[in-house]
């Protein structure tokens, strides 16, 4: 009888099973880890990866928010493409051969609703298709059959996937239930490791809650493995910003610790919000402001994460990708922002990445209208397909069955 556990620590929801069951599938890419960074709200790709090649067209489409040409960060070997000046760390990663940029990522008939577009990205669906399962959930279901009944077991004693910083992602939804667990609150993660009681017990209800929480941690086998893995790592990179300054960095710090601590968890999800920049996305100085701050955090977090993975000696095991539910409109609006758009660039990073820019700078008609969007060059599922086949080494047929179609892989993985 499977016993499915919720977890009741505040901010941590764990799910585990009671009956261990041996699984003997040999998985040669078992040590490879994928980190998905979700940028919620729809990132303005055109101000993230800037088409220097067509700078005049870029500037005239959005003169109130355009980054000055001389401020754009240059990429070695790709003169026509540059990065937002808030991301010097990503520039360095690119130049060091650890960052790949895929241009124009979207899907046919893009949807402009946050919720629907997010579901499409997370479930890996066509625009007109509603899927009950997530793309990562389908992969994990294929790789680890009979989850959760037969888990944890000797071959896979750890959570299949971990989400940090939020509660439930449709990406991890399996056929029956979620394939992952959530550490929604980084503080409670540290409380768990430190055996800190999450709540005082001086009230009647508080006393009952403390007992229920204690019971949930005791009975959850994953709480134990997570604690053990985390405790193996006593020192991490000193480049991390102070806790709370950069929530994405806080989340990735936990990921690095768990990977280095030996968890066999395959997929981690982290996220940051705030990309829905309809108004005032820049200051008068267009290199600063709301969007610049977000990109600076993204860049800082990815860089310190990479640094930490190298420090911990596991950087060869981890590849990450960023994504957002859509890009934004080519033309800026009168409030100094951008409205919901279509295609946008995706970053893929890690030691195992083949660095470079895949695809062309976006082009658009000379007579631009407010409704014009950046055209798709690559289906987002081609990136998933690449990560599954080249990083997780699934065969072509399995990849196609997870993604429900064939998507030719891109040259992203070295």
Partner 1 sequence: MANPTPITSSIRRYKGEWKQAQVAHLLRRTMFGATREDTAYFLKKSPKKAVQELVRSIYPMPTPPINSYNDEKYTDPDIAPGADWTVAPKYDGMNNGRRKNSFKSWWFGLMAGQDRSLREKMVLFWHNHFVTETNTVDNALFCYRYNVLLRTHALGNFKELVRAITAEPAMLRYLNGYANTKKAPDENYGRELQELFTVGKGPGSHYTESDVKAAARVLTGYTLNYKTYTAAFDPNRHDQGDKQFSAFYDNHVIKGMKGKEAEAEVDELVELIFSREEVSAFICRKLYRFFVYHTIDETTEQEVIKPLAALFRKKKYEIGPVLEELLMSRHFFDTANYGSMIKSPVDFTVGLCREFGLSFPNAQDCEEQYGLWEQVRNQAAALQQNIGDPPNVAGWQAYYQEPEYDKLWISSDTLPKRNQFTDRMINNGFARNGKKVGIDPIAFAAGLPHPEDPDQLIADSVKALYSVALPPEELQLMKTSILLAGLVGMASDHYWTNAWVACQTKPEDKANRNTVTNKLKNLYRHLMELPEYQLM
Positions that interact with partner 1 (CB under 8 A): 3-8, 10-11, 13, 18, 38, 40-41, 113-116, 118-119, 130, 166-168, 170, 176-177, 184-185, 201-213, 215-216, 218-219, 271, 273-274, 276, 278, 325
Q: Which is nearer to partner 1, 26 or 204 (CB)?
A: 204
Instruction: Report, in Å, the least distance between residue 190 CB and partner 1.
Output: 15
Instruction: Report, in Å, the least distance between residue 178 CB and partner 1.
Output: 9
CA distance 141 to 160: 10
Instruction: Report, in Å, the least distance between residue 294 CB and partner 1.
Output: 11
DSSP string, 196-234: --SS---SHHHHHHHHHHHHHHHH-HHHHHHHHHHHH--
Angle between helices 186-193 and 221-232 (to 10 degrees): 80
60 — phi, psi (to 5°)?
Answer: -70, -25
Q: Would you say how long the chain is, in residues?
A: 414
Instruction: Report, in Å, the least distance between residue 345 CB and partner 1.
Output: 19
> How far lies 128's CA from each of 169, 172, 402, in Å?
20, 20, 18
Q: Which is nearer to partner 1, 170 or 289 (CB)?
A: 170
Q: Is the dihedral of CA 188, 190, 196, 202 positive or negative?
A: negative
Q: Which is nearer to partner 1, 63 or 113 (CB)?
A: 113
Q: Which is nearer to partner 1, 325 or 389 (CB)?
A: 325
Q: Which is nearer to partner 1, 220 or 307 (CB)?
A: 220
Instruction: Report, in Å, the least distance between residue 59 CB and partner 1.
Output: 27
Q: Which is nearer to partner 1, 85 or 152 (CB)?
A: 152
CA distance 301 to 42: 19
Q: Which is nearer to partner 1, 166 or 288 (CB)?
A: 166
Instruction: Report, in Å, the least distance between residue 86 CB and partner 1.
Output: 19
CA distance 377 to 51: 15
> How far lies 195's CA from each of 175, 190, 191, 221, 228, in Å?
34, 8, 6, 15, 12
Instruction: Report, in Å, the least distance between residue 61 CB and partner 1.
Output: 24
Place of tokens 């399995």: 398
């Amino acid at each position: 009888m499977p016993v499915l556990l919720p977890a009741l620590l505040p901010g941590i929801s764990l799910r585990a099973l009671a009956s261990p069951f041996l699984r003997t599938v040999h998985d040669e890419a078992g040590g490879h880890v994928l980190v998905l960074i979700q940028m919620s709200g729809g990132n303005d790709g055109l101000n993230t990866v800037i088409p220097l090649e067509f700078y005049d067209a870029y500037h005239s489409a959005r003169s109130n928010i355009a980054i000055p040409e001389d401020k754009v960060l240059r990429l070695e070997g790709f003169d026509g493409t540059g990065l937002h000046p808030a991301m010097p760390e990503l520039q360095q990663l690119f130049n060091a051969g650890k960052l790949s940029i895929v241009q124009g990522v979207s899907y046919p008939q893009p949807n402009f609703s946050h919720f629907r577009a997010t579901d499409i990205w997370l479930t890996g669906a066509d625009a007109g298709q509603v899927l009950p399962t997530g793309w990562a959930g389908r992969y994990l279901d294929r790789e680890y059959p009979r989850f959760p009944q037969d888990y944890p077991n000797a071959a896979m004693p750890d959570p299949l996937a971990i989400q940090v910083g939020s509660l439930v992602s449709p990406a991890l939804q399996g056929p029956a239930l979620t394939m992952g667990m959530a550490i929604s609150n980084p503080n409670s993660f540290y409380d768990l490791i430190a055996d800190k009681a999450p709540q005082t017990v001086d009230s009647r209800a508080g006393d009952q809650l403390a007992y229920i929480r204690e019971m949930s941690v005791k009975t959850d086998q994953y709480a134990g493995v997570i604690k053990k893995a985390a405790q193996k790592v006593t020192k991490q990179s000193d480049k991390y910003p102070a806790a709370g300054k950069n929530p994405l960095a806080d989340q990735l710090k936990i990921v690095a610790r768990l990977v280095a601590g030996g968890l066999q968890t395959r997929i981690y999800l982290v996220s940051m919000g705030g990309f829905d920049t309809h108004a005032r996305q820049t200051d008068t100085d267009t290199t600063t402001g709301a969007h610049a701050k977000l990109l600076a955090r993204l860049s800082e977090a990815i860089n310190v994460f990479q640094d930490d993975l190298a420090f911990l000696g596991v950087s060869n095991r981890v590849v990450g990708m960023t994504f957002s539910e859509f890009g934004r409109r080519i033309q800026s609006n009168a409030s100094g922002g951008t409205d919901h758009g279509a295609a946008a660039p995706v970053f893929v990073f890690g030691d195992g990445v083949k660095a470079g820019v895949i695809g062309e700078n976006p082009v658009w008609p000379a007579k631009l209208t407010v409704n014009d969007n950046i055209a798709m060059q690559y289906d987002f599922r081609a990136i998933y397909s690449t990560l599954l086949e080249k990083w997780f080494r699934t065969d072509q047929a399995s990849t196609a069955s997870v993604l429900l179609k064939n998507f030719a892989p891109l040259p992203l993985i070295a």
